[in-house]
Amino acid sequence: MTVLEEEPVTLHDAPVRRLNMIEAINDALDIMLARDPDVVIMGEDVGYFGGVFRATAGLQKKHGKTRVFDTPISECGIIGVAVGMGAYGLRPVPEIQFADYIYPGLDQLVSEAARMRYRSAGEFISPMTVRSPFGGGIFGGQTHSQSPEALFTHVSGLKTVIPSTPHDAKGLLIAAIEDNDPVIFFEPKRIYNGPFTGNYDKPVEPWSKHPDSAVPEGYYRIPLGKARIVREGSAMTVLAYGTMIHVAEAVLAAKGVDAEIIDLRTLVPIDIGAVEKSVQKTGKVLVIHEATRTSGFGAELVALVQERCFYHLEAPIERVTGFDTPYPHSLEWAYFPGPVRIGEAVDRLLRN
């Protein structure tokens, strides 16, 4: 697992706008299309219609049909064409309409994109960024709600990125598009329009009320492999990403626990230095993710902490995850790691 040195976030003095995550992603794509003539966007309905979640709205009209175009309904074909484009100098940004649909393209991602640099001794690369909405929370059922990130973190040669705020979504997506290796860019659709806190009876507040909706205009990038300290604390370290960052924040605030929350942002490469530093300070660890428990990325986090911070641990590491079942439609809120299960894990850690 790659570990990067800490790098500064590259920003410039620019006015900011209040954007939701969809708007921030659209802004990043717009900037990269204008900035780099080799960037192309492709996928089902991404052109004329602007994508099922409207993340590419207006881009075809602005940049033309050769830069932003629709494809047949063939995920294997979409990824395969993107691999070829990347090998010959383009920077394709294919969209897979839902992460649940990505499996037909898995062979192209694993056998071709991830290995291109290595099998050609560096003569060819595969600088593609595969965007896809992922995760549950919108009653999409088994075929629109999966969180398959662990499958991709297992593949050497792929990078896996998951933003949790509009500010990060724009900066990370620009960095992903500029990266010379293939990147899986998963977008938590539950927080496209606002930070979900786990209160299922309350509408999601718009991003405009959240500080991380302040997105600088123009170009900026957030280096891959750099975690974000959401809040500092000393009672325990909480490791999460995507939607679960906001649920964890709400639970810990309600319980008044002085926990340190780390938003991993990129799973591969992972900022293990930030994790180690926090665990050495707190001595207790809570891992949260929405995906199924067995062989989920949380297991890798537990192993890394155990290997590197064993003598600093004061209690067994806790995991709160989805269940080892296909994603249920009618019981979605019970499947989601919510305030009750996260709160119980926090209480267990505090008692130790």
Q: What is residue 11's predicted lDDT score, i.e. its pLDDT?
A: 55
Q: 64-87 pLDDT, tens per residue?
A: 999 999 999 999 999 999 999 999
CA distance 265 to 185: 10
Given the structure tokens 């966007």, which residue do they identify? Answer: 41
Q: What is residue 326's predicted lDDT score, i.e. its pLDDT?
A: 86
Q: 23-76 pLDDT, tens per residue?
A: 999 999 999 999 999 999 999 999 999 999 999 999 999 999 999 999 999 999
Q: What is residue 253's predicted lDDT score, i.e. its pLDDT?
A: 95
Please say if 144 is a catalytic residue. Answer: yes
Asked whether the beta carbons of 19 and 167 are under 8 A apart, the reply is no
Main-chain dihedrals φ then ψ at residue 40, nearest 5 degrees:
-130, 150
Bigger pLDDT: 276 vs 335? 276
Q: What size, in residues, is the chain?
A: 352
CA distance 237 to 114: 32
With 0-12 CB in 10 A as exposed, 13-18 as middle and 19+ as buried, what is 104? middle
With 0-12 CB in 10 A as exposed, 13-18 as middle and 19+ as buried, what is 329? middle
Main-chain dihedrals φ then ψ at residue 336, nearest 5 degrees:
-60, 135
Q: Say how many CA atoms lie within 13 Å of 39 toward its Cβ.
A: 23
Average pLDDT over residues 90-114: 97
Q: What is residue 6's predicted lDDT score, i.e. its pLDDT?
A: 39
User: What does the block give as tokens for 180?
Assistant: 């010379």
Q: 123-149 pLDDT, tens per residue?
A: 999 999 999 999 988 878 888 889 999
Which amino acid appears at position 316 of this protein? P
SS (HEC) of the chain:
CCCCCCCCCECCCCCEEECCHHHHHHHHHHHHHHHCCCEEEEECCCCCCCCCCCCCCCHHHHHCCCCEEECCCCHHHHHHHHHHHHHCCCEEEEECCCHHHCHHHHHHHHHHHCCHHHHCCCCCCCCCEEEEEECCCCCCCCCCCCCCHHHHHCCCCCEEECCCCHHHHHHHHHHHHHCCCCEEEEEEHHHCCCCCCCCCCCCCCCHHHCHHHEEECCCCECCCCCCEEEECCCCCEEEECCHHHHHHHHHHHHHCCCCEEEECCEEECCCHHHHHHHHHHHCCEEEEEEEECCCCHHHHHHHHHHHHHHHHCCCCCEEEEECCCCCCCCCHHHHCCCHHHHHHHHHHHHHC
Of 99-103, 154-158, 206-210, 346-350, least confident by mean pLDDT is 206-210
Asked whether the beta carbons of 293 and 319 are under 8 A apart, the reply is yes
Question: Among 12, 63, 144, 246, which one carries the catalytic annotation?
Answer: 144
Per-residue confidence band for 4, with pLDDT thresholds at 50, 70 and 90: very low
CA distance 226 to 262: 11
Domains, the chain, ordered by start: 16-216 (3.40.50.970), 228-351 (3.40.50.920)
Asked whether the beta carbons of 228 and 168 are under 8 A apart, the reply is yes
Average pLDDT over residues 273-280: 98
Q: What is residue 282's predicted lDDT score, i.e. its pLDDT?
A: 98
CA distance 171 to 185: 12
